[in-house]
Amino acid sequence: MKKYIVFLIVILSFFTSCGEENTGTLDVQTRFPSGYTPSRAEKMIISVGSPRFWLSDYTKENFLLDSQEFNYSEGSGKVSNIGEQDIQVMFEIKEAGVQENIIARGLTSVISSNGKNQTHYAIISPLHSFSNSLNINNSITQLPIGLYGHTATELPDGRVLIWGGFKSDGTATSDAYIFDPATHFYTQLSFTNTPVARGYHSATFFYGNTQDKTDPKVLIAGGMKDSNNYLMDLEIFDVKTETVTKLSQTLQSQKAFHEAVYLKGGSIIIIGGKNNLGAQSSIEMFNPYTNGISLWGTLPKPLVNMAVSSIGNDKIIIAGGDNGSDVNKNVYLLTFNNEELENLGELTEARTSLQSVFVNDDVYFIGGFKSVSNTTFSQASGTVEKINLTTRVIQKLSASLSNPRGEFTATLLSNNNIAVIGGHDGNRNPVGDMELIWNQVGKSKPTTTATMITPRFGHKAIHTNTGIVIVIGGKSFSIDGLTATEFYTAP
């Protein structure tokens, strides 16, 4: 199917009717990017339903409130009799003359219809393709500054917090943004107390009240403010009040490039990393009730750039990584309730800057580099392995990635497939494609399905609650710090 690099901006307006039942009409209007004229895509299906009934694969059953089809080229359509209730709207763009060939799809966030005039924005992206952001009504739909070494943290309501990082000139920033997947707009946060400027830090979501899952917060830990100065500062971002507080407690040592994992039991575990003294072996534990941090234990060896996955309530898998010169091939299991660290075996090849993803009862280990000297990686790997958590057997898949890579992202999709996006080959040559690792019974095989508009590495990728993957910042061959935000519509 031909890929369409196109954005459709859909304006949804609810107009109050004059009837006593307080129902309105949903007015749908489309806007196109400059220079784009719709051709083959001629039909749009608008389906309005209750949000509690939408399925992850957009299947429509007998729960629809209404569904209408109109000519896409006309640019408008209406769905009548929308009463006082929470709804979601799904859009499907169908290719002319091919009833089953849906080339684009979108799902709005939950809309509270109260019979009053409202406007809501949603973006429909082509299926199985990347699309660039647009500037709509002077709203920010791409990063205002190029960033790398930043963090992207998904919040409970589906929004994404982008924190810190390095700008294109190599200076750390204290800027923070909120990305709304329902509108594709960025909003820059403003603080009374300026946060610490930092990059290559961690930003980990947690609940201040773990039992009730209330008081949502983000722990900002460590990082570096320039190439020679590592940090041990801790800050907490309060999601509800959008304020930041610097804690009196600090990390046990200065560090950046570490891994931080939120356990369902409530603690945040901070593992490894590096500073001016080299790679670190410490494992620290943050207590959300006391805002205290303590040393839990140590890794068998100092590690940075390893792959870390949380499994269950109190377990973490750690694989690969390096100490600046030697590359690790061990796979470790940390069990916090039993205060136990086990060596589960070895990968078939030592790798660093790899990715791991937990799917069902397996943890996948993907790509990476086989060699490192200080901060320079080489010998990119395309190997994909997985460990079954029941049998504890490490198995190499028969099929490798089409393009070996490191410094990429691996994102779990709603259908349990893994989207492997971007990266580079060890010589800063960015890999522009996206490969899917299909996680199906009897089939685990990487397949190239889409190509980014701006190939990049060192970026962040989040699978949002609207069914898209947002790709934020990163580096290209010649640019450190990209502003362009890309969106991939997942299958």
Give the CATH number of the domain where residue 16 resides.
2.60.40
Residue 171 in any domain: the answer is yes
Q: Which long-range CB contacts under 8 A does 375-383 form with residues at least 24 apart?
A: 375/324, 377/352, 377/353, 377/406, 377/407, 377/426, 378/426, 378/427, 379/426, 380/404, 380/405, 380/406, 380/423, 380/424, 380/425, 380/426, 381/349, 381/351, 381/354, 381/406, 383/348, 383/349, 383/351
- Looking at the domain assignment, is residue 451 inside a domain? no
* Structure confidence at residue 15 (pLDDT): 37
Is 474 a member of any domain? no
CA distance 362 to 344: 14
Query: Are 119 and 205 in a shared domain?
Result: no
Q: Evaluate whether residue 413 is within a structural domain.
A: no
| Domain final residue, candidates 372, 388, 403 | 403
Q: CA 208 to CA 214: how far, in whole Å?
A: 7
Same domain, 36 and 159: no
Same-domain status, 155 and 200: yes
Residues 166, 199 contacting (CB under 8 angstroms): yes
Distance, in Å, from the CA atom of 317 to the CA atom of 394, rounded to the nearest integer, reads 13
Q: What is the DSSP code (8-state) at residue 401?
A: P
Across 36-164, the runs of DSSP E, i.e. the strands, are 41-49, 64-71, 76-82, 85-95, 102-107, 111-113, 118-126, 130-132, 151-154, 160-163
How much is the pLDDT for 213? 81
The sign of the dihedral angle between the CA atoms of 365, 371, 374, 375 is negative
Q: Are residues 320 and 383 in the same domain?
A: yes
**What pLDDT does residue 414 have?**
81
DSSP state for residue 194 in the 8-state scheme: P
In angstroms, the CA 236 to CA 291 distance is: 9
Question: Do both 159 and 76 map to the same domain?
Answer: no
pLDDT at position 98 is: 45
Same domain, 379 and 284: yes
**How many domains does the structure of the chain reveal?**
2
Position 471 in a domain: no
If phi over 0 gives left and psi between -120 and 50 gives alpha, with beta otherwise, what is residue 435?
beta
Domain boundary among 127, 155, 189: 127
* Extended beta strands in 118-276, E state: 118-126, 130-132, 151-154, 160-163, 176-180, 185-188, 202-209, 214-221, 224-226, 229-230, 234-238, 243-246, 259-262, 268-271, 274-275
* Dist CA 278 CA 280 (whole Å): 7
CATH of the domain at 294: 2.120.10.80
Do 339 and 387 lie in one domain? The reply is: yes
Residues 171 and 112 in one domain: no
Is 428 part of a structural domain of the chain? no
The answer for residues whose C-beta is within 8 angstroms of residue 212's C-beta and 6 or more apart is none
φ, ψ (nearest 5 deg) of residue 244: -125, 140
Domain containing residue 80: 8-127
Q: What share of the chain is helix, strand, coil (3-state, %, to 5)?
A: 0, 55, 45
Short-list 341, 345, 349, CA closest to 331:
345
**Phi/psi-derived region of residue 157, left when phi > 0, alpha when psi is between -120 and 50, beta in every other case:** alpha
**Residue written as tokens 């007998």?**
62
Which pLDDT value is given to residue 14?
40
For residue 274, is it within any domain? yes
Strand segments (E) across 304-339: 307-311, 315-319, 330-335
Cβ proximity of 132 and 453 under 8 Å: yes
Per-residue model confidence (pLDDT) at position 167: 95
Residues 169, 235 within the same domain: yes
How far is it, in rounded angstroms, from Cα 250 to Cα 228? 19
Rounded to 5°, the CA angle 408-398-305 comes to 30
Confirm whether 412 is domain-assigned.
Answer: no
- For residues 179 and 114, membership in a common domain is answered with no
Low-confidence stretches of the chain (pLDDT beneath 50): 1-20, 31-41, 52-64, 75, 98-100, 121-128, 134-138, 441-442
Q: In this structure, what token pair is assigned to residue 177?
A: 């943004």
Q: Tell me the C-alpha distance between 98 and 116, whole Å.
A: 38
Residues 204, 89 within the same domain: no
Are 167 and 296 contained in the same domain? Answer: yes
How high is the pLDDT of residue 5?
34
The last residue of one of the domains, among 364, 379, 403, is 403
